[in-house]
Structure 1
Amino acid sequence: MVNELILLCLVAFAAGFIDAIVGGGGLLQTPATLLILPHYPVATLLGTTKIPSIAGTSLAAFKYSKQVKFNLKVLIACASAAFCTALLGAFLVSRIDNSVIKPIILVVLILVALYTYFNKQFGIHQAKNHTLKQQVLMAATFGLLIGFYDGLIGPGTGSFLILVFIAVLGFDFIGASAHAKIVNMATNLAAIIYFSSTGHILFQYAIPMAIFNLGGAYFGTKLALLKGNKFVRIFFLIVVFGTILKFAYDILYK
């Protein structure tokens, strides 16, 4: 158990660091947990990873809040919708074959990577072309979709949220990352409520992992705010590329 815990804590630190900057920390933390603890049910491991995830995300959100002005109406609409469907996704996690969803996500990610790479101004400057009412409606709609995905599958949720806040709602990378953290907190909380009520959380692993995830989130947020939008854009591309490789591997070899 000691060796397993050390590995899980190191992974949690790295996941917290990545997640604080551009989301996607679950792409590292979730597969690693499944690999290190293969003798537990998948639902139990997914529930366990939600504790460190919400710890790091909460710290990142707090640090971003000191320098970013939140659009509260948009944020509340997105977070509320995401919370509700994350509960549903967590409930259905063992009832839907992920192989049906992953090829679609892979195509979307490839398009995102290409668009972000070739559009140098993507996420660098805010470009709001919608009324507040339109923003709230779109935020709620995408919150429903991404919240369901987070409850059902999970990894990559932060990156998808950042993408929506930039491409759909017109935020810059820093603002998008800050808002995404709050919404991700809501989806993690919903999953924790469900998984804990059904006994699917290993707290002996989850609590130490949460402490290390907090450490990673602290340094990740500090670096993102220090370096600014251009740095976050580059980091976003790296994480999206890693996500593409992960989903492609899952589709081709599993």
Structure 2
Amino acid sequence: MTLEYILSLCVIGFTAAFIDSIAGGGGIISLPGLMVLGVPPAYALGTNKFASTCASFTSSITFMKYKVYDIDLLKYLAFGTLFGAILGVKAVLLLDSSKLRIIIIILMIFVAMYTLLSKNVGNVNKFKGVNRKAVIIGLVISIVLGFYDGFFGPGTGSFYIFLFIILLGYDFKLSAGNGKILNFVSNITSLILFAVNSKIIYSAAIPMAIAMIVGARFGTKVAIKNGAKLIRPILVCVAIAYAIKMVFDIAK
């Protein structure tokens, strides 16, 4: 581990966590970055999960500190996310996750276009309060995205923001806070599996995690301060960038 290597890990980690804490999608930077630095794919997944879990924990704590989340709903949804993530982790051992790529490309483009064209969506919090309908919709979101994060993962944070806005009426800031907290639940579930199977390179994961903690804390505060005017354009850019990256991955 040379100084240059450690600095590269830190730059990659900080940038990924900063973006991820605002609009999700940090994995499009951190995971390829690890592989470019020579970390084998299976170990890159585990190492990235270790660092990103530390980052999502930091973001979650910051959102909670500033009360940018809805505990009344999340106390139900956390169990849905945990259940979905466990199913997703088990499924990934049996199925080929690459078959999801085309579907995710289409969904990412849809998220970007809808967010770009719907000028007023997410600017104002229109959530009606916790009721039976909200809990059912929220549980469906949390189970599906918990499963997706355990099974495949990329863009989970972006999907949380989008679905919380469209289906439940939250604004961008509350959607980001709710999504990040639930994303942490699915992240820690996946991390335990990688750790049990010894797929984490801790000498790379620890410095990257430290940089991600700093990036996540900074990015979360920026998101809370700026709200929709910052989260909207970054969400659009992340969705388009990830769709393009996946197209190139398939074309290889």
| TM score, norm. by length of structure 2 | 0.92
Q: CA deviation at 1:56?
A: 1.3
Given the alignment of the two structures, is residue 192 of structure 1 paired with residue 191 of structure 2, yes or no?
Answer: yes
Q: Is the 8 A contact 1:87 1:194 kept in 2?
A: no
Letter in 2 for 1:203: Y
Given the alignment of the two structures, is residue 127 of structure 1 paired with residue 126 of structure 2, yes or no?
Answer: yes
Give the equivalent residue in structure 1 for 2:84.
85
Letter in 2 for 1:112: V
Q: CA deviation at 1:44?
A: 2.7
Give distance in 1, aligned partners of 2:33 and 2:106. Answer: 24
Given the alignment of the two structures, is residue 37 of structure 1 paired with residue 38 of structure 2, yes or no?
Answer: yes
Give the equivalent residue in structure 2 for 1:222.
221
Give distance in 2, aligned partners of 1:152 and 1:160. Answer: 15
Q: CA deviation at 1:116?
A: 0.8
CA RMSD, 1 decimal: 1.8
Q: Is the 8 A contact 2:20 2:216 kept in 1?
A: yes
Given the alignment of the two structures, is residue 22 of structure 1 paired with residue 23 of structure 2, yes or no?
Answer: yes
Q: CA deviation at 1:19?
A: 0.9
The gaps in structure 2 that reach 5 residues or longer are: none
Cα deviation digits, residues 22-47 of structure 1 (max 9, x gap): 11111211122233234x3x333212
Q: CA deviation at 1:212?
A: 0.2
Q: Secondary structure at the match of 1:128?
A: coil
- Alignment CA distance shift 1:96-1:8 (3 Å): farther
The gaps in structure 1 that reach 5 residues or longer are: none
Given the alignment of the two structures, is residue 233 of structure 1 paired with residue 227 of structure 2, yes or no?
Answer: no
Q: How many residues align?
A: 251
Cα deviation digits, residues 165-224 of structure 1 (max 9, x gap): 111111100000011111011011101111111212111111111100011112211221
Identity among equivalent positions (%) equals 34
* Bigger shift: residues 123-132 or 217-226: 123-132
Give distance in 2, aligned partners of 1:131 and 1:76. Answer: 11
Give the equivalent residue in structure 2 for 1:250.
249
Give distance in 1, aligned partners of 2:86 and 2:45. Answer: 13
* Bigger shift: residues 130-139 or 239-248: 130-139
Give distance in 1, aligned partners of 2:38 and 2:220. Answer: 29
Cα deviation digits, residues 73-116 of structure 1 (max 9, x gap): 42133222222222332344353223311101111111111111
Q: CA deviation at 1:157?
A: 1.0
Cα deviation digits, residues 138-174 of structure 1 (max 9, x gap): 1111211111111122221111111111111111000
Q: Is the 8 A contact 1:43 1:93 kept in 2?
A: no
Given the alignment of the two structures, is residue 169 of structure 1 paired with residue 192 of structure 2, yes or no?
Answer: no
Give distance in 2, aligned partners of 1:67 and 1:99. Answer: 38
Cα deviation digits, residues 2-38 of structure 1 (max 9, x gap): 2443322211110110011111111211122233234
- In the TM superposition, what are the counterparts of 1:131-170 in structure 2 within 5 Å? 132-170=131-169
Letter in 1 for 2:48: T
Q: CA deviation at 1:129?
A: 5.5
Given the alignment of the two structures, is residue 49 of structure 1 paired with residue 51 of structure 2, yes or no?
Answer: no
Give distance in 2, aligned partners of 1:77 and 1:235. Answer: 29
Letter in 2 for 1:72: I
Give distance in 1, aligned partners of 2:85 and 2:175. Answer: 20
Q: Is the 8 A contact 1:174 1:229 kept in 2?
A: yes
Q: Is the 8 A contact 2:53 2:191 kept in 1?
A: no
Q: CA deviation at 1:71?
A: 2.3
Letter in 2 for 1:177: A
Q: CA deviation at 1:130?
A: 7.5
Q: CA deviation at 1:131?
A: 5.8
Letter in 2 for 1:202: I
* Bigger shift: residues 166-175 or 83-92: 83-92
Q: Is the 8 A contact 1:16 1:56 kept in 2?
A: yes
| TM score, norm. by length of structure 1 | 0.91
